[in-house]
């Protein structure tokens, strides 16, 4: 059972900016990461091949994807502002988590994470694991 989902900061920023850039259409992204015990750490996003995006819908053909065991779920936007999955969303669940970003796509509070039953999961935004750190230098 997943206890928490961690998004690297650059991933959370990419999900929000993708949603804002597609507005008023929906945006859709694949989420890549790793599962360690009860925590999923999302560290990359991809635009799915053959994705379609429009007003009130976004989709991709999962059967057309190359085998990628690092895909942990899908993120898509809700321009309507609804921060919960629809029945259609749940019927087309792909991976272990579903991320929804809701209008106005301005903060991490506009991101919701859900399991395949539509239950909200705890999530947090963490520093990028591979970010270059300069705090070890003495000035």
Q: What is the pLDDT of residues 5-53, one digit of tens each?
A: 999 999 999 999 999 999 998 999 999 999 999 999 999 998 877 655 5
End-to-end CA distance of the chain: 45
pTM score: 0.84
Which of the residues 8, 26, 36, 119 is marked catalytic?
26
Asked if 8 is an active-site residue, the reply is no
Q: How many CA within 13 A on the CB side of residue 45?
A: 21
List the structure tokens of 53. Answer: 């995006």
Note the pLDDT of residue 100: 96
The domains of the chain, with CATH numbers, are 4-60+67-126 (3.40.140.10)
List the structure tokens of 7. Answer: 């998004």
- Each residue of 68-99: pLDDT tens digit? 789 999 999 999 999 999 998 998 898 999 99
């Amino acid at each position: 059972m997943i206890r928490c989902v961690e998004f690297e900061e650059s991933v959370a920023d990419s999900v929000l900016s993708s949603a804002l850039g597609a507005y008023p259409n929906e945006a859709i992204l694949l989420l890549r990461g790793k599962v360690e015990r009860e925590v999923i750490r999302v560290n990359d996003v991809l635009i799915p091949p053959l994705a379609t995006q429009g007003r009130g819908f976004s989709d991709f053909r999962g059967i057309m994807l190359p085998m990628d065991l690092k895909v942990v779920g899908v993120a898509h936007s809700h321009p309507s502002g609804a921060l919960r999955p629809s029945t259609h969303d749940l019927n087309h669940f792909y991976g272990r988590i579903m991320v929804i970003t809701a209008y106005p796509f301005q903060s991490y509070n506009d991101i919701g994470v859900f399991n395949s039953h539509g239950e909200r999961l705890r999530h947090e935004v963490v520093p990028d694991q591979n970010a270059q750190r300069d705090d070890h230098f003495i000035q």
